[in-house]
Amino acid sequence: MPLNLQKNLPAIDLLKEEHIFVMDSSRASTQDIRPLRMVVLNLMPLKITTETDLIRLLSNSPLQIELDFMKIKGHTPKNTPVEHMREFYKDFDEIAGSFYDGLIVTGAPVEQMPFEDVHYWNEITTIFDWARTHITSTLYICWAAQAALHHFYKIPKYGLPAKMFGVFRHTLREPFLPIFRGFDEEFYVPHSRHTEIRREDILKVPELMLLSESEESGVYMVMSRGGREFYITGHSEYSPYTLNDEYIRDADKGLPINVPVNYYRNNDPALGPVVRWRGHANLLFTNWLNYYVYQETPYRIEEIKNINEL
């Protein structure tokens, strides 16, 4: 089934060019199907690019999804038109009383700052806490994963001597969990970050389960609360040219940046990228939606509603 998206969202036309089936809300309203209600807190600078990347993956599920976008109230993005934000994004205040089946919180370009120095830290931690009482399952990506692990479990982050930048091989510690249904024993994930979390800190916390890691890029996926929360340090959602665009951007600015590892054909930017992560990215999002959102929603939504009423 397709995604139910707000009419005129730029991602609709972009994805139709890729023959991905999406439909706007006016058409979806004629179908007698209860869609999953999903919300994305998009903290990335290029909002439209991130919207498109996530919708591309969410659309591969057979489930119908109704998608909202949320923004930080006290932050004005520099790289996205104000008109776009007004039309397609909601402040937390507008949805705080709602219950959603799933939440995705993206990365943000603030990872080298102490968490508490991020000017929207109080607001985003309020959203993290809200998610535990209003969301069936939450997917935290990159900086959001570090931030939520710090907020809930006091997991520290550490600066890296050089940017973790490229496409890295990963292995499974818990291969029989539904989140990994269909995964190979080894799979690839893009990473683009200046900081890391460490396995020894994760393993000290009984409530956390380390699911996947890499010899090169370290911790990749952590789970808590039986799948109510997933913390992912990489960017499985990246399109084929996202790392290329980041590399050119930083090189043009004269920033210290290495060619992304295991990304370009023969390690030559002129030859373009080899996409090694698309299949597992699709499995990741489809498995999350099916096994941790859709199949858990009926009783978990009632459960958290009942808890909130106590």
Please list the active-site residues: 142, 235, 237
Which of 280-304 are b and which e, b meaning 16 or more Cβ less than 10 Å from the residue's Cβ? bbbbbbbbbbbbbbbebbeebbeeb
Q: CA–CA separation, 127 vs 29, rounded Å?
A: 29
Q: Do 178 and 230 meet the contact criterion of CB atoms below 8 Å apart? A: no
Q: Is 227 helix (H, G, I), strand (E, B) or coil?
A: helix
36-41 and 65-71: which strand pairing? parallel
Give the DSSP letter of residue 273. B
Burial of 266 (0-12, 13-18, 19+ CB in 10 A): exposed
Q: CA–CA separation, 250 vs 273, rounded Å?
A: 17
Q: Is the dihedral of CA 120, 125, 126, 131 positive or negative?
A: positive
Give the DSSP letter of residue 238. -
- C-alpha to C-alpha distances, 60 to 16, 29, 48, 136, 231, nearest whole angstrom: 13, 20, 19, 20, 21
Kindly compute the dihedral angle of the four CA atoms of residues 107, 109, 111, 112, in this order, to the nearest 10 degrees.
Answer: 170
Which residues is 158 bridged to in the sheet?
Answer: 196
